[in-house]
Amino acid sequence: MGCLFSKKSRRKSPKKDSALPAGDESATGNDLPETNNTALGSNSNQEAPKQYSWDKREKVDPKDFMLTGLKNETVGRLPGKLNGQQFVIEDCENCNIYVFDHSATITIDDCVNCRIILGPVKGSVFFRDCKDIKCVVACQQFRTRDCKKMDVFLCCATQPIIESSTGMKFGCYQYYYPELAFHFKDAGLSIFNNNWSNIHDFTPVSGETNWSLLPEDAVVLEYMPLPDPESEFKSVKISAEANRSIVPLTKGGRRTESEDSCLFVFFAGDYTTANARKLIDEMTAKGFVLIQTKEVSMRPEDVNRVFQNNAESLTEWITKGPVVALELNGDGVVEACRSIANEVFNGTKLFVSESKNTSSRDVDNFFNFADMQMGL
């Protein structure tokens, strides 16, 4: 969180000149002998005390990074208030909590019947001893312990973990506010690395299910209301519409309706993210479904293993940065992807499955590699 207390340098006060007449307040420099004028001059030009780095740090009030003991309130933090610091929420009841900024880690303890929006978190989000919570969360790691009845719209770069928790329901992250894309970048999170449906239950119970997926048509605003128009957050332009969400809406682990899938990979360039978003918009408008996405770096040996017969022509393209891969699903999806690649992305560095016969292998090869690369 940074240093909470600053050391103050102690400046020595100039010694009173012994030549000044004691008790004579009317005495001035002009009344002093020349030698004393010289002495005063040298004293007034003393070097300022040395400044250390901790002297220059802005003082941090721990209370600015905590919400504790609140009831029936709308509270949170506006953009620019946390700037990557840690944050704590505890002992809150029936509150609407909006954290519109990026942070290092967030812990939420002993909260009941709260609705919580969290901006991107560089590290972990940890819920403990909470119940009846509805939340929208983007983070590197997501964990719960001793929690009951939580509805979570999640973007998580790693595998979410629940422990001693029941009644947990998960859906894909859907949210937007103007600074959100920058906050994802500041938190070091990729909008394409989202394992929201790949839950690991650390304490499974035989014959019981501690977690499930929210309905596919779940709408965030039905779970998490917009801020009160009279609150301090009224100036934040929020949207929870799926087509405006910073994070692409994926089907995740839900059952697909078609056996046809296609791998579409964009190699690093100036418009990789924009091209991926355009592809998603074009394909979903045609009725196809986005299953999953990943953004990972590749080495030449990875290209050989994943793309096999096409590897030679693709190896030089991986040197510019990570690749963005998408799995799209639906009858005739391979033909549709190849058509849009030629019509919309002609000249762009990309890979598209060649046929229905090879597409399943392409999808498995790439996403198995990506999961291993990310430790999933």
Binding positions for GTP are: 123-124, 140-143
Residue 283 near residue 263, CB atoms below 8 Å: no
**3-state DSSP assignment of residue 182:** helix
Please report, in range form, the residues annotated as the binding site.
123-124, 140-143
| CB-count exposure of residue 119 (10 Å: 0-12, 13-18, 19+) | buried
Q: What is the DSSP string of 196-214?
A: TT--EESS--TT---EEEP
| CB-count exposure of residue 154 (10 Å: 0-12, 13-18, 19+) | buried
Residue 295 near residue 324, CB atoms below 8 Å: yes
| 55 vs 241: CA distance, rounded Å | 46
Q: Which residues pair with 93 in a beta bridge?
A: 71, 112
The answer to whether the Cα torsion of 281, 283, 284, 285 is positive or negative is positive
Nearest to 234 by CA among 226, 245, 242: 226
| 287 vs 317: CA distance, rounded Å | 31
Tally of CB atoms within 10 A around 167:
15
| 269 vs 4: CA distance, rounded Å | 42
H-helix segments, 45-179: 53-56
Tally of CB atoms within 10 A around 25:
7
